[in-house]
Amino acid sequence: MLLEVEDLRVSFQTDHGLVRAVDGISFSLDQGETLGIVGESGSGKSVTNLAILGLIPTPPGRIESGRASFRGRDLLKLPRRELQKIRGDRIAMIFQDPMTSLNPFLTIAQQLTEVTMLHRGWKYKRALDHAVEMLERVGIPGAGRRVNDYPYQFSGGMRQRVMIAMALSCQPDLLIADEPTTALDVTIQAQILELIQQLQKEEGTAVILITHDLGVVANVCRRVNVMYAGRFVEEADVDSLFAQPRHPYTLGLLNSLPRLDEQRGARLDPIAGQPPDLTNIPPGCVFHPRCPFRIDRCPQEVPALTERIDNRRYACFVDVEHQARVAVKEN
């Protein structure tokens, strides 16, 4: 097991009260595996990964409990210096906005060589050669020349390629990609997703892909966790998740998507209501106020994310598939 996260809880103290951004999640990741984490804004996807990397500002943030064991060492307990040795070397990350994650005052060469000089102790010359090689691998034409350019001289897609080159410079075991294509146009998104997959195949890097886009998940991931209000509500391999969603929230998400591959003009079936206020999480199942399958038990008891009778893992008391079939008959 490369990474094992157990019962992670992260909260933030705000003016409006305590926000439970991540509320007890567990997952694990094998070497070379791709795990997707999907959810809407505020569901805690990014906070989960910032916590693993020790990047939660404290205060106002606080890691309440949990363990994140990476190759047997608990990342949440490591001293700062030790963590810095792992970050960028064994675990690398790509963020959503390639505009703000590069330093506008430094050339690409300066930013790309920093990683290997720091973690590998290379001299500048050698690091620069490596940087040019990485830029070539991520498909930047004229890499030897462009390495001396500043970030503003690159387009959004090219900047994200630079970020990927930087992330993969030390051949990390794990790459965390937080909404890597959200700021990009679709044709550029297709290029970047293809690149990530190709590099992953070559290097055997494990990837955690955080996204709100179910299409991207279907395209890239093998296994998916669906996150809602700080909790995982369903975990499944990508085929079962899309073919037979078991949690009402997953089902609701899929039903509210207009899709290119379906008959046009059908009415969308959105999830009613709004996502919950995280300072005031509803008792029992977090999704129950919006859930069409709600039963008496839901507001009283928190359903655990465990394996159910049908060998699937979801946090729900109701057999959604059966219920959905009944609903269709009644109509």
Partner 1 sequence: MNAASPPSAEVSHRSQAAGQQPPQPLLKVENLKVHFPFARGPIWNRHRGVVRAVDGVSFEVYQGETLGLVGESGCGKSTTARAILNLVPPTAGHVYLNGQRIDGLDDQAMLPYRRQIQMIFQDPFASLNPRMTVGAIISEPMKIFGLGSEYDRRLEVLRLMELVGLNPRFLNRYPHEFSGGQRQRIGIARALAVQPKLILCDEPVSALDVSIQAQVINLLMELQQRLGLAYVFIAHDLSVVRHISHRVGVMYLGRIVELATAEELYARPRHPYTQALLSAVPIPDPAKERKRQRQVLRGDVPSPDREYPGCSFADRCPWVEPRCTQSPPPLEGTPHPAACFVANDPQSPRGK
Residues that bind partner 1 (CB under 8 A): 40-41, 155, 157-158, 185-191, 193-194, 212-219, 238-239, 242-243, 252-261, 264-271, 274-275
The closest of 177, 45, 166 to 109, measured between CA atoms, is 166
In the complex, least distance from residue 271 CB atom to partner 1, rounded to whole angstroms: 4
Nearer to partner 1, 117 or 257 (CB): 257
Is 172:205 a contact under the CB 8 Å cutoff?
Answer: yes
In the complex, least distance from residue 226 CB atom to partner 1, rounded to whole angstroms: 12
Nearer to partner 1, 217 or 305 (CB): 217
Reply yes or no: is the peptide bond before residue 172 cis, omega within 30 of 0. Answer: no
- Find all residues with CB under 8 Å of 134, minimum gap 6, and list them: 112, 165, 166, 168, 169
Nearer to partner 1, 82 or 185 (CB): 185
The one-letter amino acid code at 284 reads: G
Crossing angle of the two packed helices 156-167 and 186-203, in degrees rounded to 10: 10
CA angle 97, 99, 102 (to 5 degrees): 100
The closest of 327, 326, 316, 312 to 241, measured between CA atoms, is 312
The closest of 152, 154, 151 to 108, measured between CA atoms, is 151
In the complex, least distance from residue 217 CB atom to partner 1, rounded to whole angstroms: 8
In the complex, least distance from residue 194 CB atom to partner 1, rounded to whole angstroms: 6
Nearer to partner 1, 120 or 137 (CB): 137
In the complex, least distance from residue 16 CB atom to partner 1, rounded to whole angstroms: 12
DSSP code of residue 240:
H
In the complex, least distance from residue 101 CB atom to partner 1, rounded to whole angstroms: 19
Distance between CA atoms of residues 11 and 63, nearest Å: 7
The pair of three-digit structure tokens given for residue 271, joined into one six-digit string: 């999830």
Is 216:93 a contact under the CB 8 Å cutoff?
Answer: no
Nearer to partner 1, 186 or 309 (CB): 186
Nearer to partner 1, 170 or 177 (CB): 177
The one-letter amino acid code at 170 reads: C
DSSP 68-109: EEETTEETTTS-HHHHHHHBTTTEEEE-S-TTTSS-TTS-HH
Nearer to partner 1, 66 or 98 (CB): 98
In the complex, least distance from residue 89 CB atom to partner 1, rounded to whole angstroms: 31
Nearer to partner 1, 109 or 271 (CB): 271
In the complex, least distance from residue 23 CB atom to partner 1, rounded to whole angstroms: 19
| Sign of torsion over alpha carbons 241, 244, 248, 249 | positive
In the complex, least distance from residue 253 CB atom to partner 1, rounded to whole angstroms: 6
